[in-house]
Amino acid sequence: MDLFESPDYYNIESLFSEEHIIVRNSTRDWVKRNVSPIIENACQSSKFPKQIISGLGEIGAFGPYIPEKYGGAGLDQISYGLIMQELERGDSGIRSTASVQSSLVMFPIFEYGSEEQKLKYLPRLASGEIVGCFGLTEPEFGSNPAGMQSNFTDKGDYYLLNGSKMWISNAPFADIAIVWAKNEQGRIEGLIVERGMEGFSTPKTENKWSLRASDTGELVFDNVKVPKENLLPNKSGLGAPLGCLDSARYGIAWGGIGVAMDCYFTALKYSKERVQFDKPIAGFQLQQKKLAEMITEITKAQLLTLRLGQLKNEKRATSAQISMAKRNNVEIAIKIARDARQILGGMGITGEYPVMRHIMNLESVVTYEGTHDVHLLITGLDITGLNAFK
């Protein structure tokens, strides 16, 4: 039974609108009913629970900020963030599926696609009838996607696509892939590649210790003929995929708070119930230090991220501000999860509690969507004007 209650030490709830609270509470209830009962088994058996896809569509977790005209929920950025917070509280892999679908598949079609592409794909992505994935990373180009080698040539009636992508969330079962590849002039463009196109395969990545309830795979393009109408016409260059990452990284910033809250809630409850040396372990100073630091970091992250959401609603959030929040919130989540695990003692390593699963998931979250180092260097560049990447 999932008894989760979220901490709100600074009464941050009073800063949310009624709509925000309804969205958050309904997502939380849905997670309690549909994710919590099955997630441990899904992770242990390393199986993505595909049965939740239609439910994610029904609660508006796919493209929450996409206008209703295209099947989205037409919500603001804070509601989007709260949905990601609640999904990641359930499991990072579930949030991953929703953020890939929303920010890395629907967002580029909505922002860079033609009207025909929007009408063709967005409503079906919003409902979960079809699922998408996002191919940027390649075996030799992770943090440095500018070097990508996937490429396509203009064959008159179609584009001929070659290359491969690695570490792609949802790839093994996705119906479509947003693929970033270079044209003959070496400029990065986005193509919508559909399952079933000849020469396109999506082998699954096995043996992951992290994000086990999310399917990860490769995208392999061996002379794939992509119809010309599948090119995203309205933006090209590395800024196009990076613009999508801004939206997904923003969602992860909220998601980090969700994981941190779940670990804090679990550790606080356990420490008040677990008795050693004739008193609850919560009464020992060493455990109080951990718990007090957890709630302090969660509260700071909540305020940082709410402000970021306000800036995002006003279209004033910079990429560097988003990087700071993604990096900070994943870092505090990792620290809180590790401290929570210690508070739980031996029980902390079991599937009786969500903490070890969160710890393992966070090892992916700290790396994807830009590593911890990359986000620090983005902040460094922003404040100094000096590029330390190269």
Site for ligand TGC in 292-331 (CB under 6 A): 319
> String of b and e for 62-94 (b: at least 16 CB within 10 Å)?
bbbbbeeebbbbebbbbbbbbbbbbbbbbbbbb
For ligand FAD, which residue of 134, 221, 254, 265 counts as binding (CB under 6 A)? 134
169 binds ligand TGC (CB under 6 A): yes
For ligand TGC, which residue of 56, 109, 136, 259 counts as binding (CB under 6 A)? 136
238 binds ligand FAD (CB under 6 A): no
Supply 310's token pair: 């306000």
- Shortest distance in whole angstroms from residue 36 CB to ligand TGC: 20
Could you write out the DSSP letters of every residue in 283-301?
GSHHHHHHHHHHHHHHHHH
380 binds ligand FAD (CB under 6 A): no
User: 376 Cβ partners below 8 Å, 6+ apart?
Assistant: 327
Stretch that binds ligand TGC, among 58-66, 195-203, 224-232, 242-250 (CB under 6 A): 242-250
216 binds ligand FAD (CB under 6 A): yes
Nearest CA among 147, 184, 353 for reference residue 267: 353
Active site residues: 369
For ligand FAD, which residue of 143, 151, 183, 319 counts as binding (CB under 6 A)? 143
Q: What's the CA gap between 175 and 66, in Å, rounded?
A: 20
- Shortest distance in whole angstroms from residue 104 CB to ligand FAD: 7
Site for ligand FAD in 53-112 (CB under 6 A): 100
> 84 and 258 in contact (C-beta within 8 Å)?
yes
Q: What's the CA gap between 97 and 62, in Å, rounded?
A: 9
242 binds ligand TGC (CB under 6 A): yes
160 bridge partner residues: 153, 225
Site for ligand FAD in 160-189 (CB under 6 A): 167-169
- Shortest distance in whole angstroms from residue 230 CB to ligand FAD: 18
Element (H or E) spanning 226, and its range?
A: strand 216-227
Nearest CA among 302, 243, 321 for reference residue 78: 302
Stretch that binds ligand TGC, among 3-11, 183-191, 238-246, 341-349 (CB under 6 A): 238-246
164 binds ligand TGC (CB under 6 A): no
Residue 99's binding partner among ligand TGC, ligand FAD, none (Cβ under 5 to 8 angstroms by kind) is ligand TGC
275 bridge partner residues: 280
For ligand FAD, which residue of 46, 151, 319, 367 counts as binding (CB under 6 A)? 367
